[in-house]
Amino acid sequence: MPDVHLDAMLREFASRRDFSSRAPTVSALLDELERECPRLRFKLRDETGTLRRFVRVFVDGTDVSRTPGLTTSLSGAQKVDILHSIAGG
């Protein structure tokens, strides 16, 4: 069961920053977080379910954009970090 950590930017949309989950995949984890914290809906994924451009999910330090993405298995994972970067110019 991985520990899940939301960065400070996402904290305003969630009841807390740290969670535990038994979700089998990253996608199922995001579903779970959105159910528990409805204000996160559309902050992490867009209307099609795709991870937003400035959201990064790391499973045990590996960015899921470099793995199978939202279908990445959480079996055996210890830690999931969800970060929201800021862009500007």
User: Which domain CATH number covers 51?
Assistant: 3.10.20.30
> Does the pLDDT at position 87 exceed 80?
no
pLDDT of 88 above 70: no
What pLDDT score does 86 carry? 75
**CA 54 to mean position of chain CA atoms:** 12
Q: Residue 8 domain-assigned?
A: yes
Q: Please tell me the total count of domains within the chain.
A: 1
How far is 36 from 39, CA to CA, in rounded Å? 9
- pLDDT in the model for residue 62: 96
Is 89 contained in some domain?
no
CA distances from 56 to 1, 47, 81 (A): 20, 17, 8
Neighbouring C-beta atoms of residue 64, cutoff 10 Å: 19
pLDDT at position 85: 83
**Domain annotation covers residue 9:** yes
pLDDT tens, position by position, 12-59:
999 899 999 999 999 999 999 999 999 999 999 999 999 999 999 999
| Domain span holding position 14 | 3-84
